[in-house]
Each structure stands twice: as structure tokens, then as C-alpha cells.
Structure 1
Amino acid sequence: MNNSNTVPVIKELVLVGGGHSHLSVLKYFAMNPVPGLRLTLITRDLHTPYSGMLPGYIAGHYDYDQAHIDLRPLAHFAKARIFHAEVKSIDLENKQIICPDRPPINYDLVSINIGSRPGTLHTPGADEFTIPVKPIDSFLSQWDCLIENILERTQQGDSFHLAVVGGGAGGVEMALATQYRLQYLLKLENIKPAKIEVALYSDDDNILKTHNSQVRRRFRRTLHQRDIKINTGHKIEKVEHNKLIDTNGNQHTADATLWVTNASAPAWLAESGLEVDKDGFIAVNDYLQSISHEDVFAAGDIAAVINHPRPKSGVFAVRQGMPLAKNLDRFIQNKKLKAFKPQKNFLGLISTGDKHAVASRSNWSLEGDWLWKIKDWIDRKFMDNFNELPEMKQDTAPEYNQDMADQKTIHEISAIAMRCGGCGAKVGSTVLSRVVNRLSPITRDDIIIGLADPDDAAVTEVPPGKLIVQSVDYFRSFIDDPYIFGQIAANHALSDIFAMGAESQSAMAIATIPYGIENQVEDQLFQTMSGALDVLNASNTALVGGHSSEGAELSFGLSVTGLADREQVMRKSGMQDGDVLILTKALGTGTLFAADMRLKAKGRWIDKALQSMLLSNQAAGFCMHRHGATACTDVTGFGLLGHLVEMTRSSGKSVEVNLDSLPVMDGALEMIATGIFSSLQEQNVRLRRAIKESENLRKHKHFPLLFDPQTSGGLLAAIPAANAGQCLVELQELGYPVSVIIGQVTKDSKSVESVTLLT
């Protein structure tokens, strides 16, 4: 992620989906950046499974990471923003991508590569009683549950009937890979393999109808040898619980059904107004460009190339990647597009589940273990192309690519270069007014003058007997998505109020938006403010004003005002002997996001860290107060040890902390082991002098986490021991699943060494 790019954004290219074609697009723009182009990837899944390795993954030959491409580091490598969301519609007239629960995302050019899913809609009961193999990520989440169910049934002595519906290459590979994996697991459990019965169903009179007769004969032989029953000419017209019904009325036992039929497209493509073919796929020309909307491109399964129809296969999606990337590049720079003509024939390597493969091309066929080794080598080489990212050299680039800009844009960019400092650096009043008018902050009776008023300052009322609690936080963006960043920044700022047991009343925003042309500045400000406002409104906090300016990078923060009764205020001081220490969130954001910047963190780790940072501390703060917290703080930039030291010194107490009990975010220990730390870690480590006898435990794997700076971290509170159990139960019920006791308050201490570590 490039936080300090001063080149103004001129055009927005949005990639919808992390399919095989878009992998090449991201890699292309990483190696061929276009100054002035902002690239955004919207993806439902952060790890995209490679279809060529799916049978091997199911059979147990590959682990999860070997069979998936991590989109987050790849997007960062391409200097692309990555938004973890699912697209539900496109507003083609206003050029906006619509995703649930977030503001629309603007585009100048959009490319769609979201894959397909089996066509179950026209088969009654299929959606309810089958497991579709596509989308692959959804299938894999159900696959683990299916394995557990099968093992449980067979351990009880029951047999299990597994049906695979679909007689193409995908169905055949899935039947063989599934059976191979299940028989291996049954062998480990000393269960007879005969307890698993696998049956393949094809509505055609043969299997593998798009392949030659040699291939079909080889697989019929293999399926027969594996005791997989082949049912050809059996079109399934209805699915019921544990039962398949074909067109002849025959009923087939199926305790579970894998659906691997012809591909289908989501309805929103046609509903958005895109021209689609008879099956609902986006109709594109030889340039992979929509035939109805020139600013929409599509590739892979979701696209139907009108002049060159081809089967839905990953091999075509892969080969469309580079032509798509180059045509997107040409389009945004107003250059002539080049036609792409897919190959008619290709070499297919179809696996048999047991590290054996059959080669299929035109009218010939081969098979052998050596072919599986070739397939394995090809697949691994493809994956390495996107998972092993090279170091990028720093080229001197022009300020922007003039081929993209018209005269109006050039005039606007010229004005950007002459922008002033001081008040001249503020976001323009027209842009600011439009953003404010689009926001919907909550209203409160104690806000006398607020955001809707034209006055120079906000006016709030303080009820009799209440204390004002104030705090401010502001920092640069560490993620690509301005909407999520706004949410996290608001949570982080509000946490100081909640840690003191107060109710938040009002907030004022401080935003620095990267330089850009007017509509880009407006969109960035609106996305950020929308995220913050979602959090503020949820906590009944009124946005009453703020300040915005332009700068080199996105930064955002809030000044927050809260209200509290005098006896309600929780402080860092006040810990009592015998109190236990409760922490509500896991540690590790510092090292994880340092690794993220270096393209070393896995996308799923970062996603879980973001979910933790999006969790408000409001309910936890009130819970701590109800259970008699004697001291409380939120764990942020100084790390756990830094905040513990603040509490011990102000309380005149010492504490014992159990290193083994510290909750840790997924991936944090792996990154620490590689020596990746936050830039603030070194300063925090200076506080190790507060630890008694730290030498003995410095090699403990959790030791570095004491110094890891947290963003939107959890609450740390001292709770009377008698109340701790019920407090933990309530925290769990309130949605803080990793809440845990990490230590206890011991005794008065005037020593600098106030923290004792235990295991």
C-alpha cells in the first residue's frame, strides 16, 4: 500500500472479483504502473482458490495455502486498494459499484471476474439439499463439515452414500478425489473403506462429453476399478433430503450430494442492465469488453465471448488475463484496443485422485503418474507467479500520464500543483458541503448547535452533575479501504471515552485527504466519513463538526466528548490487592500490519485483525464498570506492558502477568518469529526495565507481544476477584469471545520493576 503517493488520481479502475484473469491484471499493473490511475480490487474472498489444484486439495495432496492465492499482498504489490466486500449490483448510469452495508464505490472503468456457480436454480431442492462445488470457497467451508459427518456416521457402523451430480471433468475429478481422501481418513480410523459408496450422475449418455473417446474409456475403467457407480442418462430433476429423483422417476439414495453441473451466472448482472447471453453471462466482444457498455470488461467463467464461445474452464480464464490487462491499460489511456482470439484446443490434464493423471487433447490421450507430476509442476509454477512476489525497483515516473487526461482534467491538475498551505489547504467548500449533505448523523437533545448549523463552533449542553470526558486521536491510514479505516479510527477514538466508563456525547472530525481532482477528493472524504459515522451513530454520538484538509496521504481522527457521573469515572489508578486483570481483545495488530506492508501477512490474518479492530469497546466498558472495575484503560500504541506500567505506577501496585494466557491474533507469532515488528516496537521495548527478572522469559514466544502497539485494541481492567468470573461470562455474551484473565494485582510497590512475568 502506498500511503504517500502525491500523484493526483485521474481515473479509477475497479476490479470486481479475484478470479484467475484478475490475478494477471494485478500482476501486470504492478509491473507496469500508470501514474494517475487508482486501482481497486473488490473481492468477497481474500484467498482465491486455484481451480486446477482443487481436486488435489480435496484429495489431501496440497494444504490450504498451496492451493490458494493470497489476494491481499498481491493487491498491495500492485499498489491497489483491496475492499473485502461482495458486489450486489452496478449502477451503470452513475458508474457506481453497489455493495451491502457500505457507500457506493465510484469507477471510470470496471472489470468483472467473479467466476460462476453450478446451475441449481432450475432443479427443485438442489439449493437446499446439495453442496455446490462453486463458488469454491463456499464449498470448502462445507467440505470440512461433510468429512466430520461422514466419519461420525461410519464410526457408528453406518454406511454413507455420497452422490456427485455432473458428468464433466469437474464431476469426475471430484468423485475420484473425494473418494480417495475419505478412504485415506477411514484407514486412519481403522474403518472399512466399503462403508463409503460414491455414485456419479450424468444427464448425458456418457461422461466427459467434451473429451475424446479414449479419455472417456480411461476414466470409465478407473471409476469401475474404484467401485464408483456411473449413472449416465440420469438427469436429476428433483432433490429431497437424502434422495435424488431422476427424470424417469427413479429414486437414488444420497446422504450428501456434491453439485458439479453446468455453470450459471448471478441475476444481478442482467438486472443491472448489462447485455447478457441466454444463460445470463456478460456478453463481451473480442476485446473482452461488454457489447452494451464500453466501460465494462469481463473475463473468465462470467464472460461469454460472443464470437468465440468456449466451455467454462479455468484454462481460458488464465489465458484471458494478460489480454484483458493490456486492453484495460489501453482503454484508460484512450488507445486502440486489440482483439483476443482464444485457442480452440488445449491440453487438459485431468487427475484421478491418486497422483495419477490423464492427458486429453483433440483426439489423443495418455495417462500415468508422470503426467500428474507434470501437472503438479505446472500448477505450482502458476501459483508461485502470484504468491512469490519480486522486489520492485523504484522507477522515476512522469507526474501523470497525459494520454488519460482531457483539457478540463489538465486544467484541474495544474491547479493542484499550485495549492496553498494554511487555510488554503482546506478541502473546498463546495466539496465539503456536498459530503456533509450526504451524511446522516444522529441527533441528540443536548446538542444545541451542531453539524447542520452554519455557526463557527458547536454548542453542547452538560446536564447538571455530569463531568465532561474528552479525548482526541488522529493517525494516518494503514489500510486501503477508506470506509473501513473511518470505522476503525472512530472506534479507536471512542475507546478512550469507554475505558473511563463514560457515555460518548459528541465528536468532531479531523481529516486529511490525498490530493486529487474534485470528484476523487469528495469520494475519499465521503467514504471515510461514512465509515466513521456508522460507528458514531451506533454509539449514540453526534457528529457536530470538524476540519478537513488536503495532504500527501489519508489521515483521520476524532475529538470526542463524553459525559459521566463523578462516581462512574474509571481511571488507570485505583487497582487493589487481589484484583484480577482482564483483557478483552487479542494482541498482534502492530506486527501483523508491519508484515502487511511488507507483503508477508496472509489476507485471512489481516481480515481477522480488522474484525477485532471494528469491535467497539462500548459494551465492554459498561460491563467492566458494572462488575466493579477499580482501574481500566484501553490497550493502544504503548502496548500491553506500557499501559500496565501506567496502571501500576499510578496505583502504587505491582502485577503478575501469565504469558501463556495472553490472547494472540492469528499470524502474529509467525510474523514475530520472522523478525517483523512495528516501527513503534523498539520504543516500547525500553519499558522492559519495569519487568522483574525478564531475562528468564525473554525467549517465551509471547514476550515480544508485551511491546506490540495496538490500534483499536481491547480494554484492560482490574476487577475484584469475586466478580471476575461473572464479568467474563457477560463479556462473552456481549460479543468479546477472547476475553480472558491474564494476571492479578499483587501488592504495593515503590519499585520501578512493577511487573512480574509467569508461565
Structure 2
Amino acid sequence: MHKTDAPVVKDLLLIGGGHSHVTVLRRLGMRPVPGLRVTLLTRDIHTPYSGMLPGFIAGHYDYDECHIDLGPLARFAGARLYHAEVESLDLDNKLVYASGRPPIAYDILSINTGSRPVSTDIPGVDEFALPVKPIDVFLDKWEQLIERVRVSKGPFRIVVVGGGAGGVELALSTQLRLQTILKAAGKDPENVVYTLLSASDDIMYMHNAGVRHRFERILRQRHITVKTGARVTEVRADKVLTAEGGAYDADAVLWVTSASAPAWPAKAGLAVDEAGFIRVDEHLQSLSHQDVFAAGDVASLPDSRPKSGVFAVRQGPVLAHNLPAAATGRRLRRYRPQKNFLGLISTGDQYAVASRGNWSYASAWLWTVKDWIDRRFMLKYNELPEMDEEDSPELASGIADAEAIKELSTLAMRCGGCGAKVGATVLSRVMQRLPDTQRDDVLIGRDSPDDCAMLTLPKDKVMVQSVDYFRAFIDDNYTFGAIAANHALGDVFAMGAEPQSALAIATVPYGRERIVEETLYDVLAGAIQVLESSGAVLAGGHSSEGAELAFGLTVNGLLDPDTALRKQGLQPGDALVLTKPIGTGTLLAAEMRAKAKGRWIDAAIQSMLISSQQAARCLRQHGATSCTDLTGFGLVGHLIEMTRASDVDATLYMDALPILDGALQTVEAGILSSLQPQNLRLRRAIDDVERVSHHPAYPLLYDPQTAGGLLAGIPREKVSACIETLHGMGYPTAVIIGKVEPRSDRDASIRIQ
């Protein structure tokens, strides 16, 4: 990955991780544009490659072989990755609204979200059918369908709705997979009974007669019944009804009809065609808004083409040129769609049919060619070039913006001391945009111009206070702010206190006034969302400019001193309970090196966003004797603090440790947090450490955690009920990881079992 030090001048926002946008990201990684900040907003962390999906469904590929991992690709491109789904656009103010986060500003917007099968106004489709798109939803439900077929007795009837290439490929590939599974289970593979319904008078209506005849023969050979001219009017729980009066029994319905567009482009006021697809010109630029581009299935070109990944791939290089060109005022390039293209259509097994114009051909060799082409395409995106900071790829032209240049000229010399504070105007605007929740015991908060917050303590309560502050470790400022707040509140929850208030401190990177405001707003909005859900208010804070984003909070909580949960208090016989999985340190280190899969990082982020507030209440209700939250010192470091303070020993069950997906792979690859070597010095507290040091999970004992779970001692007789309650509260990985024992005469207080 190559990053420039140029301050942000313009924002390029990519909606969707489709075939065109992955080309844009790779090109920007190779040729960054100084001053252009790139953000990828995507519903899916892994983009499925349409050409390999039938092979994946049939069992010829695994998940990673046919999906482009957007996590490392975005990092390679220097792009911020926002995992959310678009809800609406504000084209006048250049804002995109996405679920669960503040609006995202843009200067240039590009849309490559693909399409979905048409199902409008057909009763029962949403309830009973399984649409092939969105792909991730289909794949999840496909696994459920596999299990239904596996345990079925007698015939299992599947109706595929859609006679185009997608429907035919899906029918053949799913049939092969299900028959293989039944055969392995010792059942009759012919128990899977297929019917293919096509609304047109032919199957494969967009291909030549030779292709149609070949697939008609193949479908007959596979005993798949084909009904043409069958327009579906209703889907029921056990059958599909058609306009001509047909009724087809169905235990499952796969929906692979023609493409439909999302509703939000038309609602926003973008020029769209009669089907709702975004109308673009030959430069892939919106006909109604010059700052908006679109590609792939969601785009409607003057010279219309089928909704096919072939065209989205070909549009990628044109879009990769035109987006930076639009930002830098350079000339745009025309997209010229090919009139004829070679289509290689799989037949489920390792066999393929070629289609080009009026020519067709079929053979097993063609599948080998298709497999080679597809794998070569995927390698471009899943095996990215290694780049060090010293590498100097050819940079695209920087952004020429007179207003920006004038503003950025003031960035050359930055003051220190109080001169480094964020300006009053920016700060005032941010405060006005943020919600101002209040509490009666916060007498003076951030709504007042006074120098300090003023708090009051209820009778018989004491205040607990903790502080955390760290550099940003993800590019999503809103999510970073939320995780930072969750991390800081962990100390309050661990002691059994009620959060009351917080003071924030933020260091914001130098930049244009608009960018500084957006960054500060996003990180504070994320923090406030977490604080308010815990019952606390943001009472004030301090902000300054610096080289990189960093953020922290001083949090205050209220507590009856007689009920405080402390690190001392563990009793022999207690079970050690951990409420969340470990592994954030190694995963974040791997993500910085672009060595972690996107789904690993996304799962780690979701874990860090889970509040420990309810877990703390559960632990207290079940008689917790001692508690702490796992943070920088890792599991062993925090357990040592507890055993020493309690004058006890402890046994850890290594194989019981809850571990985040991917953490074992990254530590096996030797990717560890920079704090790991210091934490590793604590190994002297482990008895017979050489015996356990070869265990795959051993390095994770010292892995520093961000917003980690709670570690508590629970009386043995109450621990089963405690674990069951935690699972019901939304802590599915909560588990017993060890036990507390009387203090022995060993020098090392922790044994590994």
C-alpha cells in the first residue's frame, strides 16, 4: 500500500464492491492520487466473482477461491472501508446515508452495487422463494437447503424460476452438489427432482440457437424438467403457480429472474431508465449529475447490454481512469462495449459451453480454459503486490483545486501548544450537530461555556474513574470512536459501576476545515452513541490537530463502595469465566500488513463493539467474586493481577479459550502485536511453560485486547446458570476458561491444562 502525505482535498466515495470497483481500488493502490481520499461503502466484505459461483455451488471451489476480499484490497488502495448498506442519497448536499452511521460526504460518487432478481408484485416470492441475489444471503440459505435435503426422506422437489443463463447454470450446479451429498449419505441421488420454469418461449433466450439446443439436451440428460412460456404468478409454501394454470409442487424455490434495480437511486433524483437503473453516458457518468458515476448491472448505458459480469469487468479500467480524472479536471475516457463476447457457461460438472455471436462449442477442455481464466482474474485481487513505504509507484496527477490550494497553503506551518487546538468555528459546528443528552447529576456539561464540567455524587455513592487513549487502528472514524468508548467503559463495567459521564480528548489530522470537522464529528458521534446507550453523557473534552487521528476518554462511574468488584476477591473453587473471544491484537496487526481476511477483521470489529454492560450485571447477579476487563496486558497479564491480589493460583483450560476467527492463522504466520514482546515477559508466571509453549493458541495468552471481554470468578455452583444467561444476553462465546485454586508453594501461580 502506498499513502501520500498530501492533505485531503476531495473525497471519492465508492458504493459497492462490484467487479468495476475492485479494478478501481487496485488501480488506485498502484497509482494513488495525492489529495484524493477514497472511501468504500459496502454491504459485503467479500465480493463474489460471478464467473466462479456456479463452480463454488457445485463444490469445485472453496469460498476464498471465488470471493475477492475487500479488506486487504481497500487497505492496498489506501481506502477507508465502511461496512454498511446504503439507505438514501442527498444529491444536493452530496451526502450518502447508510444504516447505523452518520452521513458520508463526497465530491465524486461512484455506484457499483449490482442488481437483484425481479420479484415485484408476485405474491409469496419474498416469503417462500430463495433469490440468487444478494449472493451472501443466498449462500447462507443455500447451506440451510443442503441440510434440508441431507435429512430428507423421499423425493425433494426443487423449482428454479428463470430460464436465462443464470437459472440454467444454477439448476445444473445445485443439482450436482445435492446429488453428490445424497450419494455420500447413502441415499438415492435421484430423490432430488428439478423443474426449470422460463417465462420466455425458450431457455437461454439471449444466446444463439446452438447454445440453446446444447443446454436443452444437457437438461434432458440430467432429468431436469423444463417448462417454457411459464410466467410465475404466485409462490406458495409447497408449490409454484403460473399464468397458464400450471401448478408445480416445490419443497424449495430458487429465484433467478431478470435483474431489478435498488430503489434509492430513483428516489434520490438520479436519472434512471424505466426499470430504475442509473442512466449514464459513454463515460459512465450520470446523465443528471456530473459528480456521479455508475457501472455494472446498476448502470443503464445508451447502447444497452445484458446484465453480465463480463461488461462490469470491462468497465473497470474505464472507471478507474475517469474517477481520478473527474477529481483532477482531466479528460474522461469513453467506454465502448463489445458487440460480441465469448461466454463460457458451465454445466455444473467440469464441462462448459462456449457462446459467441452465432457460434457455439462444448467440451471439458473449455471448462479447463474457463477455470484458468477465472483463477488468473482472482489472483490479481487476492494476491496484491507487496509495497513498502520506500516504494514509489507512479503517482497520478494531484488535484488542482484553487480554493483547496489556497486553504492548504496555511497547513505548511502548524503551531504547537494551544495553537494546535481545533478552531472554535469547527468545534462549535460539531457540537451543534451532536446530540446533547443530559443527566441531573451533571450540573455543568458541554452545553455550557464554563471551563470545567461540574458533577454531583448521590448519597452513599463514590465515583470511579478511568482513562484510555490510543491511535486510530481502523479507517472508519465513526466505528473507531464507538470502539474507543466501549474500551474505556470496560473498566467501569468491570467494577460494577454505573457510567455517569465522560470527557473526550481527540487529536485530528491536519486538513481542510471541512475534513477536520467531518473527522471530529464522526469520531465523537461514534463515542456518544456508545456512551448514551450506557446511560452516560459526554460532559466535555479537548481537541487538537496532529499528524494522525487519536482519541480517548476519561470515564466516570457511580458505585456503592461496598459492592465494588475488584481484582482481589477470587476464591478457591471459583470458575473463571470469559465473556468475549480473544485475538484482536494479532488480527489488527495482520490487518495493518494487509494479511488478514476482511471477514476476520469485520468479526473482530463486531466483537469490539459489543458492550460489556449487560455481561457485568449478569456476573454480579451470579455472585462474581472478582472481575476485570481484558485489555492491553492480555489474558495472562490480567489474570496475574487477579491471582496476586487474591493470593490464589489458577488453572487455565487452553483448549476452552474462545478465539476470534483468523487469530490462530495470524499467530501461526508470526504476526503479533507490537506489545506482545513486553507481555511475553509474564510467561514466568506460568508453571512448566515449556510444556505448553508449542500449543497453537499459546501466543494468544499474551495478545493485547482492545474492548475485550470481562474475566471474572464465579462460584462453582452458580457458573452453569451464569453461562446460560450470558448466552441469552448476546454473549454466545462466553465460556469457563479455568478455575481458581488455593495458593501453592510454586513460584508460578498459573497452570495450563
TM normalised by structure 2 equals 0.98
Structure 2 residue aligned with 1:111: 110
Could you list the per-position Cα deviations for residues 147-185 of structure 1 after superposition, in whole angstroms to 9, with x for gaps in the alignment? 1112222xx2x2111111111111111111111111111
- 1:144 has 2:143 as partner: yes
Gaps of 5+ in 2: none
Number of equivalent positions: 753
RMSD: 1.6
Residues 633 and 716 in structure 1, CA contact (< 8 A), matched pair in contact too: yes
Per-residue deviation at 1:88?
A: 1.2
Could you list the per-position Cα deviations for residues 188-231 of structure 1 after superposition, in whole angstroms to 9, with x for gaps in the alignment? 01111221111111111111111111111111111111111111
The whole-number CA distance in structure 1 between the counterparts of 2:68 and 2:327 is 27
2:443 is paired with a residue whose SS is: strand
Structure 1 residue aligned with 2:520: 525
* Partner AA of 1:658 in structure 2: Y
Residues 478 and 525 in structure 2, CA contact (< 8 A), matched pair in contact too: yes
* Partner AA of 1:630 in structure 2: T
- 1:182 has 2:178 as partner: yes
Q: 2:257 aligns with which of 254, 261, 264?
A: 261
Q: 1:245 aligns with which of 232, 241, 261?
A: 241
Per-residue deviation at 1:606?
A: 1.1
The whole-number CA distance in structure 1 between the counterparts of 2:319 and 2:460 is 66
* Partner AA of 2:567 in structure 1: K
The whole-number CA distance in structure 2 between the counterparts of 1:125 and 1:571 is 56
Q: Show the 5 A alignment for 1:72-151.
A: 72-151=71-150
The whole-number CA distance in structure 2 between the counterparts of 1:401 and 1:126 is 48
Q: Show the 5 A alignment for 1:561-640.
A: 561-640=556-635
Residues 35 and 399 in structure 1, CA contact (< 8 A), matched pair in contact too: no
Q: 1:486 aligns with which of 481, 486, 489?
A: 481
Pair 171,530 (structure 1): closer, same or farther in 2 beyond 3 Å: same
Q: 1:557 aligns with which of 537, 552, 557?
A: 552
Per-residue deviation at 1:723?
A: 2.2
- 1:725 has 2:720 as partner: yes
Structure 2 residue aligned with 1:715: 710
The whole-number CA distance in structure 1 between the counterparts of 2:73 and 2:398 is 27
Structure 2 residue aligned with 1:299: 295
- 1:51 has 2:50 as partner: yes
Structure 2 residue aligned with 1:70: 69
Could you list the per-position Cα deviations for residues 263-288 of structure 1 after superposition, in whole angstroms to 9, with x for gaps in the alignment? 00011110011000111000000000
The whole-number CA distance in structure 2 between the counterparts of 1:31 and 1:651 is 56
1:510 is paired with a residue whose SS is: strand
* Partner AA of 1:129 in structure 2: F
Pair 403,587 (structure 1): closer, same or farther in 2 beyond 3 Å: closer
Per-residue deviation at 1:340?
A: 1.2
Per-residue deviation at 1:141?
A: 1.1
Q: Mean Cα displacement is larger for which, 126-135 or 13-22? A: 126-135
Q: 2:493 aligns with which of 467, 478, 498?
A: 498
Residues 95 and 106 in structure 1, CA contact (< 8 A), matched pair in contact too: yes
Per-residue deviation at 1:137?
A: 1.4
The whole-number CA distance in structure 2 between the counterparts of 1:328 and 1:88 is 23
Structure 1 residue ranges (4+ consecutive) displaced by more than 3 angstroms after TM superposition = 393-403, 749-752
Structure 1 residue aligned with 2:16: 17
- 1:193 has 2:189 as partner: yes
Per-residue deviation at 1:127?
A: 2.0
Pair 579,367 (structure 1): closer, same or farther in 2 beyond 3 Å: same
Q: Mean Cα displacement is larger for which, 315-324 or 597-606? A: 597-606
Could you list the per-position Cα deviations for residues 238-280 of structure 1 after superposition, in whole angstroms to 9, with x for gaps in the alignment? 2222212222112121221111111000111100110001110
The whole-number CA distance in structure 2 between the counterparts of 1:160 and 1:173 is 19
* Partner AA of 2:477 in structure 1: P
Structure 2 residue aligned with 1:229: 225
- 1:213 has 2:183 as partner: no
The whole-number CA distance in structure 1 between the counterparts of 2:333 and 2:282 is 8
Per-residue deviation at 1:377?
A: 0.3
Residues 501 and 564 in structure 1, CA contact (< 8 A), matched pair in contact too: yes
Could you list the per-position Cα deviations for residues 475-516 of structure 1 after superposition, in whole angstroms to 9, with x for gaps in the alignment? 011111111101100000000111111111110001111111
* Partner AA of 1:700 in structure 2: H
Residues 7 and 399 in structure 1, CA contact (< 8 A), matched pair in contact too: no
Q: Mean Cα displacement is larger for which, 4-13 or 359-368? A: 4-13
The whole-number CA distance in structure 2 between the counterparts of 1:66 and 1:349 is 18
Identical counterparts, % of pairs: 58
Could you list the per-position Cα deviations for residues 302-345 of structure 1 after superposition, in whole angstroms to 9, with x for gaps in the alignment? 00012x21000000000000100100011000112121111110
Residues 30 and 393 in structure 2, CA contact (< 8 A), matched pair in contact too: no
Structure 2 residue aligned with 1:353: 348
Per-residue deviation at 1:626?
A: 2.4
Structure 1 residue aligned with 2:502: 507
* Partner AA of 2:682 in structure 1: L
- 1:279 has 2:275 as partner: yes
Q: 2:428 aligns with which of 415, 433, 442?
A: 433
Could you list the per-position Cα deviations for residues 342-391 of structure 1 after superposition, in whole angstroms to 9, with x for gaps in the alignment? 11100000111110001111111111100000000000001111000111
Q: 1:458 aligns with which of 448, 453, 461?
A: 453
Residues 622 and 714 in structure 2, CA contact (< 8 A), matched pair in contact too: yes
The whole-number CA distance in structure 1 between the counterparts of 2:72 and 2:733 is 27
Q: Mean Cα displacement is larger for which, 81-90 or 722-731? A: 722-731
Residues 6 and 552 in structure 1, CA contact (< 8 A), matched pair in contact too: no
The whole-number CA distance in structure 2 between the counterparts of 1:5 and 1:542 is 37
Residues 45 and 84 in structure 1, CA contact (< 8 A), matched pair in contact too: yes
The whole-number CA distance in structure 2 between the counterparts of 1:388 and 1:265 is 32
The whole-number CA distance in structure 2 between the counterparts of 1:724 and 1:178 is 45
The whole-number CA distance in structure 2 between the counterparts of 1:275 and 1:398 is 38
Per-residue deviation at 1:750?
A: 6.5
The whole-number CA distance in structure 2 between the counterparts of 1:396 and 1:623 is 52
* Partner AA of 1:278 in structure 2: E
Per-residue deviation at 1:397?
A: 7.4
Structure 2 residue aligned with 1:445: 440
Per-residue deviation at 1:748?
A: 2.3
Q: Show the 5 A alignment for 1:306-345.
A: 306=302, 308-345=303-340
Pair 359,397 (structure 1): closer, same or farther in 2 beyond 3 Å: closer
* Partner AA of 2:460 in structure 1: G
* Partner AA of 1:325 in structure 2: A
* Partner AA of 1:422 in structure 2: G
Per-residue deviation at 1:6?
A: 4.0
Pair 719,512 (structure 1): closer, same or farther in 2 beyond 3 Å: same
Structure 2 residue aligned with 1:61: 60
The whole-number CA distance in structure 1 between the counterparts of 2:54 and 2:306 is 19
